[in-house]
Each structure stands twice: as C-alpha cells, then as structure tokens.
C-alpha cells in the first residue's frame, strides 16, 4: 500500500455567518459549496460520502481520524460520491484494512470532490450546533474572504430546492433476484441477524417472491440489498414517475426511499403518493427518511427544518409499541411535525388517521408513524443502517409481512369473487 505524501496545500472553509476555518487540502482541489453539517458516526465514512441523502451538503466528520481503513469497492451506498465537500480533522496518510483497495484521498480526488483537513472540527461542530446548519464554501483556490462570502451569498441553499432530481435514477431498473446487476458491488450484502461473512448474492435465476416498486429519491444500495435478501425483486423507478406509471407495474408493495434536501422541494412525488394512497388504499407502503416526510405531507401533515439535523449512528429511538430502544443511523435535516396531545399521546400534526410509532429520545422528534387502518409504515431514521447499527432490520421484515398479508388477502378476495 502506498502512502500519499501530503502536499500541505492550503484550503479554507468559510461559513455563511462569516466564520472562517483554515485548513489543508485533501481530495480534489477547487471549490465546493453546500450546506455544512456534521456527522457523529465514528465508522463508515465511505458509506456516508456515497449516501445520496448528503447530496448538496458539506459533511464534517466529528471523529478526527478519517481514512484509516481506506476505501473498497463494496462499502458503497450509491455509484458515486454524493457529498458536496468533506471536512475532517485528519485524513489518514495511510490506510490499513484487508479489504481496502485505495485511499480516501485518491477516491475523493478521482471523483473531483473537494476535502479540507487539519482544522478544528470540534469548534466547527459546536458552531453548527449553536447557530444551526448553514451554507459554506471550501476553497483551495480562492482565499479572498469577500469573494468567498459573495459566492456563498449567491448559493441558493437547500430549503425549498429539488435536490432529488440530482440523485434519482434516469430510468427504471430491476434489482434483486432475476435482475442483471449493473453494478455488482451493489450486491454485497451483510447478512442480518447472526453475524456471518460478507456475501455476494449473484443475480440470475427466477424473480423473487415479491415485486416491490421503489421510488428512488436517492435510494441507498443497502435498502436494495436488504429487500433483495428478503426475496424481493425491486423495480427502482425515477422520482418523476407518476402514480399511473407506478401502479401499472402492479407492485406487491411500494417503497419510498431516502433522499436529500427539503421534502417541499419535490411536490410532484407528494402528489404521486397522494394519488396512489387514494387509488390503492390497501397497498403496503414503507418509507424511509425523505420517504416519511413525503408520506407525511401526502397525508396532509407538515414538515420543518431541524436546527442542525440528526446525522450519526448512535441516536436512541423508542418504539412506542414495544417500549424498546433501537440505536439508529440518522441522516436528516427536516422532520415531520408532531406533538403530544393533552392526554400525553403522540400525534402527527394535522393527521388524525396517523399514529406515531417511534420517537427520538434525544430531542423528542417524530421518528416513525403508521396509518391507523392501512398497511402504511414509515420511519425517519435508517433501518438499513450502513453506516450504523443493525437494530432496526425488523422493519423490513414487517414490510414483507404486510406484503404477504396483502397478497393473501388479494388471493382470498379473488377466490371469494370466483366462488361468488
């Protein structure tokens, strides 16, 4: 393994409120604009930078040593690096791991993603915590404060913007049993439950037991891996697909993925969901992250921007039904508005048909809801983890169970219709 000699080239990070951090360049040189956020996960930087939900964001890792294990072809969550810029205390000049095939530095460099290191990332984190997520710019070329502030001023930020269109698939594709993999790396799965080896589940053969349509707002590979592991063939469709197009695929279940930015920036997906929920009220639906926000809006709820968001792999979420706690992976800047009623029961504001299922124990925000009478479930956090703990994989099994019940009911009613 070769070691990259550090060039010690200067880099600067300027935040919209004027605070400036001096550092050193790593990855690509140039400039990066985005919303500056921080992630407190100590592992999984490769998954994080590839997570489409970070599109448009400059991600700061609070753990100081990043790059220790290099990068490998399989620990990816999309086909490319998604972050707008990457901020670390120290990029490791050397990586060590039996699966590593390259360094983080080269990886970012090749992808043209600008990184900055050797700055007080804790000071930056505390600043964001106090002032909230803000726009920022990393530059290795322009060190003129006025000029950088001017660029920041012109940068539109994330609120109200459609970032999904940057990350959604251009055309629909099949994933899972029966599909031809476009990117075999996307198929490496880590077996849930009892620990085992990393497995490559080859494509080919017959189609899976269930057909799931996934609306791709920036879907993470691990969601697809898990659905496929549970014997689903997934038809991943662009976020722009309308309800008719989706329903024409005749899915056993509908999945709405995670994704970047403000849910209000994608009114067309909300509209699609509204229509599907109306036309096919019995269809099992599962949403994650941006998915919960879009479903919330589709049911008439509200979303709001969190001060600095939740990004990490250690957030405690309480399952209100079982009283159990899950340690969760989180990555969101917006959330569905909910509150406690006079009796102390949680509710989604403006949505009497919905029932809150999960609460974040750190700040009492909504982490999950379900429809009171339909098989519609969604969570704000990331049960697919990657990076993060596997505590919440049961949600996928629950989705599969609903699909099976739904299919059984359809068979039942068809049989009933036939016998009538």
Partner 1 sequence: MPKRTDIKKIMIIGSGPIVIGQACEFDYSGTQACKALREEGYEVVLVNSNPATIMTDPEMAERVYLEPLTPELVAKIIEKERPQALLSTMGGQTALNLSVALADSGVLEKFGVELIGAKLEAIRKAEDREKFGRSMQKIGLDLVRGDYARDVEQAREVVGRIGLPVIIRPSFTLGGTGGGIADTPENFLEAAKRGLALSPISEILIEESVVGWKEYELEVMRDLKDNVVIICSIENFDPMGIHTGDSITVAPAQTLTDKEYQRMRDAALAVIREIGVETGGSNIQFAVHPETGRMVIIEMNPRVSRSSALASKATGFPIAKIAAKLSVGLTLDEIPNDITRKTPASFEPTIDYVVVKIPRFTFDKFPGTDDTLTVQMKSVGEVMAIGRTFKEALQKALRGLETNRYGLGADGREIAAPENLLAQLKRPNADRVFYIRQALLDGMEPERISELSKIDAWFIYQMKEIVEMEERLAKIRTSVGLTAEVLRAAKRMGFSDYQIGTLCGMEQLDVRRLRKSRGVQAVFKRVDTCGGEFEAHTPYLYSTYETEDESWPTRRRKVMILGSGPNRIGQGIEFDYCCVQAAFALREEGFESIMVNSNPETVSTDYDISDRLYFEPLTLEDVLNIVELEKPEGVIVQFGGQTPLKLAVPLAEQGVPIIGTSPASIDLAEDRERFGKLMLELGIAHPEYGIAYNLKQAQEIAARIGYPVLVRPSYVLGGQSMVIVYDDQSLIRYMKSAIDASLGKSILIDDYLEAAVEVDVDAISDGKLTVIGGIMQHIEEAGIHSGDSACVMPPHTLDAEILEQMRQVTRELARALEVKGLINIQFAVKDHKLYVLEVNPRASRTVPYVSKTIGISLAKLAAKVMIGRTLEELGFTKERKIKHISVKESVLPFIKFPNVDILLGPEMKSTGEVIGLGHDYGISYAKAQISAGNALPMEGSVAVSLADKDKTALLPGIRKLVKLGFRIYATQGTHESLKKNGVKSERVFKVGEGTPNIVDLINDNKISLLINTPMGEKSQYDAAAMRRGALTRGIPYVTTTSGAIAAIDGIEALKKGRLEVTSLQEYYA
Interface with partner 1 (CB under 8 A): 1, 3, 21, 38, 40-44, 46-47, 62-65, 68-69, 72, 75, 89-90, 92-99, 119-123, 125-126, 129, 190, 193-196, 198, 312-316, 318, 323-325, 327, 361-363, 385-390
112 is in an annotated binding site: no
Candidates 293, 25, 13, 51; CA nearest to 135 is 13
- DSSP class of residue 43 equals S
Question: Where do we find the tokens 């036939």?
Answer: 418
Burial of 242 (0-12, 13-18, 19+ CB in 10 A): middle
To partner 1, the closest distance from the beta carbon of 314 in angstroms equals 4
259 is in an annotated binding site: yes
Which residue out of 127, 358, 382, 406 is catalytically annotated? Answer: 382
Cα 177 to the center of its chain, rounded Å: 23
- DSSP class of residue 179 equals P
Candidates 190, 227, 219, 233; CA nearest to 77 is 219
CB nearer to partner 1: give 55 or 91. 91
To partner 1, the closest distance from the beta carbon of 368 in angstroms equals 16
Q: Can you read off the two tokens belonging to residue 180?
A: 């031809």
To partner 1, the closest distance from the beta carbon of 21 in angstroms equals 8
333 is in an annotated binding site: yes
384 in catalytic set: yes
Q: What's the CA gap between 38 and 44, in Å, rounded?
A: 14
CB nearer to partner 1: give 79 or 314. 314
CB nearer to partner 1: give 150 or 183. 183
382 in catalytic set: yes
Q: What's the CA gap between 99 and 140, in Å, rounded?
A: 31
Q: Can you read off the two tokens belonging to residue 17?
A: 């409120």
Question: Where do we find the tokens 């008439």?
Answer: 300
To partner 1, the closest distance from the beta carbon of 120 in angstroms equals 4
Q: Give buried/exposed letters for 102-120 (b at 16+ CB in 10 A, else e).
A: ebbbbbbbeeebbbbbbbe
Q: What's the CA gap between 122 and 129, in Å, rounded?
A: 10
293 is in an annotated binding site: yes
Q: What's the CA gap between 169 and 186, in Å, rounded?
A: 15
CB nearer to partner 1: give 38 or 211. 38
247 is in an annotated binding site: no
53 is in an annotated binding site: yes
Q: Which helix (H) or strand (E) holds 221?
A: helix 221-229
Q: Would you put residue 207 in left (φ > 0), alpha (ψ -120 to 50) or beta?
A: beta
378 in catalytic set: no
To partner 1, the closest distance from the beta carbon of 310 in angstroms equals 9
Which residue out of 217, 384, 390, 406 is catalytically annotated? Answer: 384
CB nearer to partner 1: give 203 or 306. 306
Which residue out of 217, 232, 289, 351 is catalytically annotated? Answer: 289
331 is in an annotated binding site: yes
To partner 1, the closest distance from the beta carbon of 247 in angstroms equals 37
CB nearer to partner 1: give 198 or 410. 198
Annotated binding site: 53, 259, 261, 290, 293, 331, 333-334
By annotation, the residues acting in catalysis are 289, 382, 384
Annotated binding site for L-glutamine: 53, 259, 261, 290, 293, 331, 333-334
């Amino acid at each position: 393994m070769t070691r990259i000699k550090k060039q010690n080239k200067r880099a600067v990070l300027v935040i919209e409120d004027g605070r400036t951090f001096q550092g050193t360049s790593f990855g690509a040189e140039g400039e990066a604009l985005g919303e500056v956020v921080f992630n407190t996960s100590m592992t999984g930087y490769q998954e994080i930078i590839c997570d489409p939900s970070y599109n448009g964001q400059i991600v700061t890792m609070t753990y100081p040593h990043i790059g220790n294990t290099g990068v490998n072809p399989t620990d990816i969550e999309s086909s490319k690096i998604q972050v707008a810029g990457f901020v670390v205390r120290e990029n490791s000049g050397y990586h060590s791991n039996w699966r590593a095939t390259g360094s983080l530095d080269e990886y970012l460099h090749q992808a043209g993603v600008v990184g900055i290191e050797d700055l007080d990332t804790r000071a930056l984190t505390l600043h964001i915590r106090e002032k909230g997520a803000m726009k920022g710019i990393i530059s290795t070329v322009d060190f003129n404060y006025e000029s950088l502030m001017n660029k920041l001023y012109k940068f539109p930020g994330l609120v109200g913007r459609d970032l999904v269109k940057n990350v959604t698939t251009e055309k629909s594709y099949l994933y899972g049993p029966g599909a031809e993999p476009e990117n075999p790396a996307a198929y490496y799965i880590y077996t849930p439950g009892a620990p085992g080896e990393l497995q490559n589940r080859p494509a080919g053969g017959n189609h899976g037991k269930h057909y799931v349509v996934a609306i791709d707002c920036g879907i993470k590979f691990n969601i697809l891996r898990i659905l496929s592991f549970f014997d689903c063939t997934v038809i991943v469709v662009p976020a722009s697909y309308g309800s008719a197009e989706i329903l024409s695929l005749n899915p056993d279940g509908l999945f709405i993925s995670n994704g970047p930015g403000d849910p209000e920036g994608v009114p067309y997906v909300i509209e699609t969901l509204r229509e599907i929920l109306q036309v096919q009220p019995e269809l099992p639906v599962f949403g994650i992250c941006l998915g919960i926000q879009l479903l919330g809006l589709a049911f008439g709820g509200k979303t709001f921007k969190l001060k600095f968001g939740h990004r990490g792999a250690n957030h405690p979420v309480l399952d209100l039904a079982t009283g159990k706690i899950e340690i969760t992976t989180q990555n969101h800047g917006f959330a569905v508005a909910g509150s406690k009623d006079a009796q102390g029961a949680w509710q989604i504001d403006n949505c009497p048909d919905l029932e809150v299922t999960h609460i974040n124990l750190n700040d009492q925000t909504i982490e999950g809801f379900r429809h009171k009478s339909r098989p519609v479930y969604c969570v704000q956090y990331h049960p697919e983890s990657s990076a993060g703990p596997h505590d919440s994989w049961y949600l996928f099994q629950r989705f599969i169970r609903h699909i099976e019940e739904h299919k059984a009911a359809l068979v039942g009613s068809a049989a009933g219709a036939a016998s009538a």
